[in-house]
Structure 1
Amino acid sequence: MQSTDLYPTRRFKEPRLVYRTEDPAVWGRPGEGPLTEEQLDTHELDGFTAIEQLLEPDELAAAQTELNHLLQDPALDGDERVIRERSTDEIRSVFDVHRLSSHFAELIRDERIAGIARQILGSDVYVHQSRVNYKPGFGGAPFEWHSDFETWHAEDGMPRMRAVSLSLALTENYHFNGSLMIMPGSHQTFVSCVGATPEDNHKASLVKQEVGTPDHDSLRMLADKHGIHQFTGPAGSAIWFDSNCMHGSNGNITPFPRSNLFIVFNSVENALEAPFAAEKHRPEYLGSRDWQVLR
């Protein structure tokens, strides 16, 4: 049976703002994982937690080697999990990396990663989605402002805001090569978007998202209220952020590529249902319906 839809979207003629009252950003407590009480409090307030250095140099080098292997693997030519830039045909994203790569599958089970996900969500977790975002130099396109939860709710059937994402930098993230931007505190407001979901919307939205992106007035209101924080840092640094954070990134016209490992953890108590605003759910590599607990 479908849950009550607390976050209706893509069904009204005008955008609406729904204030988050049911779902905390932090479900766990200090002592239940690696994060301190101060870090958890900040995560609840801002919706994100930055980690200066998650990987040691040798771990980072191994992850970069694995990234290059995925980007050059001829076996993935024509695979639907590989998304290419519209203008240059260069790789934009490779999805399902925890299934394609035993190295990344092992890495995300590390207590520094899986342990934080369990602590923030206050339960066992599984991988809802994994990918490498590769923003090449001289042509990496932007990612429009959006809340991930809006899409996961509308098209995957995620009922509640009990998911958290990890963005792990595999290259230097400068302020000029398309690094992540977040509106701090925006996770407390759900923006209901306008426009029905087209059939197989993911085939277009993974290259350039249009349906499921907020209107300019809502974005302006959130930006005026919360401001915009841009994340920069060396390879090996990381950001944890709430599923409903309003975020995006500029394009990359510099010679310096930006690559990040992106893992979405969902609580096993928040398993997917039927989509709330689409005729059918997206493919498994975008919204996993294999709720195997991550050990």
Structure 2
Amino acid sequence: MQQQETDLYPSRQGKKETITHRHDPVVYPYHKPELESTLSPEQIARYINDGFLVLPDYMSDWVEALQYKIGQLKQIMSGREELITEPDSNALRTIFNPIEHNQLVKNFFSHPRILNIARRLLGSEVYAMQSRVNIKPPFTGRSFPWHSDFETWHVEDGMPRMRAVTAWIMLTDNHEKNGPLYVIPGSHKQFVCCEGSTKDNNFATSLKKQMLGVPLQHSMKELMGNKEITSVTGKAGTVVFHECNIMHGSPDNISADPRSILMCVYNSMENIAQKPFSDLQPRPHYLNSRHPAPLHPLNDDADTHHDINPAIAISS
């Protein structure tokens, strides 16, 4: 393990909660032609300013195959610790590490239309630090509180700098009533040093209901300022990229429609996790890969359809 870097983003150190500015760029310079992507200069500028980018109907031809394969994973991985249930029921909330359990999922996140955007934004080769499926069943899918992913990855996993991006595809329609993601545009330019301190194995409860790394109300009010909360909605097949430090959360699913998304956290090969800044033991590998290997783009015509069986679906 590498020598510990200076902690530029101290959090959960038993001190009063504060808000500081980030020390890292949002988009990193690149020097290799192969890191070029499909993004326009206007889209890159929007990502730098807002901290997220929505690409409607970007990979809709993959949706049916991914739904089917993830439906299989729900059965194949049944009983494993990577499957997290809702805090107040046995309904499935999250499937972690699908990229290591299914080749189609890995192919999707290695597709040049996805991977090259991550490489361009991070200015380097990247690896899949974490992958997951977030599932909000009809009526019972519970909320996720306001939080910055980077705060947790920094404190509990040892991610040194803000040089990661999450890419995700909507596997079902995401609309205002089925618990869509909400973001605060521009919030990625500041960092909330949260109160409290982290206990051993905090992840065992936080994956069901996060309590630490959740900013206090007065911090959220200051962070919002004159910014407007934005919902990230769209049809199945929409792809979203959001910056690792953007403040985001989601409400309960109060509708009869399921809401499911497939996500991959791309981390720069120049930003590999070190010893957690909480001085605790690293979280399990399915939350933060400790054996990173760069992903390489597949051909554009990589197979997307394998033995589709409509009887097995992620929304079942």
TM-score, normalization by structure 2: 0.90
Aligned length: 291
What is the CA-CA distance between 1:28 and the residue it aligns to? Answer: 3.8
Tell me if structure 1 keeps the 8 A contact 2:60–2:236: no
Of the three residues 23, 34, 38, the one matched with 2:38 is 34
1:44-101 per-position Cα deviation (integer Å, ceiling 9, x unaligned): 11111110112133x2211111122222x1x322200000112220110000010011
Whole-angstrom CA distance in 1 between matches of 2:280 and 2:245: 23
**In percent, how many aligned pairs have the same letter?**
42
The residue that corresponds to 2:49 in the other structure is 45
Q: Aligned to 2:270, what secondary structure does the other structure show?
A: helix
The residue that corresponds to 1:60 in the other structure is 63
Q: Aligned to 2:191, what secondary structure does the other structure show?
A: strand
The residue that corresponds to 1:125 in the other structure is 126
What is the CA-CA distance between 1:241 and the residue it aligns to? Answer: 0.6
The residue that corresponds to 1:103 in the other structure is 104
Whole-angstrom CA distance in 1 between matches of 2:177 and 2:60: 25
Runs of 4+ in 1 over 3 A off after TM superposition: 28-31
1:245-268 per-position Cα deviation (integer Å, ceiling 9, x unaligned): 000000112110100001100000
The residue that corresponds to 1:136 in the other structure is 137
Matched, 1:17 2:19: yes
The residue that corresponds to 1:290 in the other structure is 291
* Paired letter, 2:11: T
TM-score, normalization by structure 1: 0.96
Whole-angstrom CA distance in 2 between matches of 1:19 and 1:151: 17
Q: Which sections of structure 2, spanning at least 5 residues, go unmatched?
A: 297-316
What is the CA-CA distance between 1:278 and the residue it aligns to? Answer: 4.1
Whole-angstrom CA distance in 2 between matches of 1:86 and 1:215: 21
Matched, 1:182 2:186: no
What is the CA-CA distance between 1:212 and the residue it aligns to? Answer: 1.1
Whole-angstrom CA distance in 1 between matches of 2:212 and 2:52: 25
The residue that corresponds to 1:145 in the other structure is 146
Whole-angstrom CA distance in 2 between matches of 1:232 and 1:97: 23
Whole-angstrom CA distance in 2 between matches of 1:176 and 1:191: 29
What is the CA-CA distance between 1:8 and the residue it aligns to? Answer: 0.4
What is the CA-CA distance between 1:167 and the residue it aligns to? Answer: 2.1
Give the CA RMSD over aligned residues: 1.3
Q: Which sections of structure 1, spanning at least 5 residues, go unmatched?
A: none
Whole-angstrom CA distance in 1 between matches of 2:198 and 2:258: 32
Tell me if structure 1 keeps the 8 A contact 2:152–2:213: yes
The residue that corresponds to 1:209 in the other structure is 210
Deviates most, 137-146 or 27-36: 27-36
Tell me if structure 2 keeps the 8 A contact 1:183–1:227: yes
